[in-house]
Amino acid sequence: MVVVPLEYDNKADMHVATVQVGTPPQKFYVVLDTGSPQRWLLSASSNDPNIKSRKRKYKSKTRKPTETTVSVTYMSMKVFGQLVEDKLTIAGYTMDNFKFLEVTEMSPALEKDEKFDGVFGLVLDMTSLVFHPTLLGLMQQWGLIEEYSVSFRFCGKQSTTGATIFERGDAVFGDVPNEYHYGHVVYLATTPSRLPTVSVTLIRFGDLVLCRDCHVLIDTGSYYIIGPKDLIKKIHLQMTFRDVTERGVYVECRHIYTYPELEVILGGTTFRIPADKLIMEVVRGRDRKCLSGFMQKPTSEHSWILGMPFLHNVLTVFQPMYQRIGFAKVNCDSPPIQSTSVNS
**Enzyme catalytic residues:** 33, 219
SS3 276: helix
**Is the separation of the CB atoms in 105 and 81 below 8 Å?**
yes
In the chain the first and final C-alpha atoms are separated, in Å, by: 10
Instruction: Say how far apart CA 232 and CA 49 lie, in whole Å.
Output: 35
* Tally of CB atoms within 10 A around 90: 25
Number of continuous H segments (helices) and E segments (strands) in the chain:
4, 24
Query: Cα Rg for the chain, rounded, in angstroms?
Result: 20
Task: Tally the C-alpha atoms within 13 A of residue 321's C-alpha that lie toward its C-beta.
Answer: 11
Task: Tally the C-alpha atoms within 13 A of residue 19's C-alpha that lie toward its C-beta.
Answer: 29
